[in-house]
Amino acid sequence: MELKRIAYHEAGHAVMTVLKRRRLLSVTIKPILDGTVPGHTLSSMVRALDPDYKGDRQPYEFRRKICTLLAGPIAELIGMSESTPGDNCNDDLAIATALSKAIAADTLPSSMLGNSIEEIRASFEGVCIEFAHKIFDDITEEVKQTLKDNWQAVEDVVNALLDQETLTGYQVRQIVKRG
């Protein structure tokens, strides 16, 4: 049962990575780092989450990253027919939340803040957090719909992972293409 949960989680990440046209290197349900990480999807996104990375940090790019991060927990919930994600989702959710806040801080309409510096300072944090929650919720709905629309590909990746443990990016792209 636990291996199937991990397979759904990693399949969600992998399928969304392909659908969002990100580079997928591999996906595995084999434990790594002495078993502390139950599975892993290796994509170009890993480099972009590094704070020293100087690549694209536009809101659109952050949205793609959030979609990929949330796809694991959401696929796990759908596939396991549960209402709360497993403990292995905490890092994905924390990073997605931080990225939502970054989008909100960069794109917050000035009309929502007030006119004076004091008004702006007083309202920024609350409005920014509220705006980040809206962004997070909107992206969550987008991910749910995208996964539902491509659920056969998710199931096929899950089955292949349970059979082979590790898939290359090419193998996942072929599965998604067959969809």
pTM greater than 0.85: no
Distance CA 58, CA 5 (A): 32
Calculate the average pLDDT of the chain: 81
Check if the beta carbon of residue 65 is closer than 8 Å to that of residue 3.
no
Tokens of 53: 């990375």
Is the predicted pLDDT of residue 123 greater than 60, yes or no?
no
Percentage of the chain modeled with pLDDT above 70: 74
Distance CA 161, CA 170 (A): 14
Distance CA 102, CA 94 (A): 12
**Residue-wise pLDDT tens digits, 48-100:** 444 444 455 566 778 888 999 999 999 999 999 977 877 778 888 888 888 88
Which DSSP state fits 22?
P
Least confident of 68-72, 119-123, 124-128, 144-148: 119-123
Domains of the chain: 2-178 (1.20.58.760)
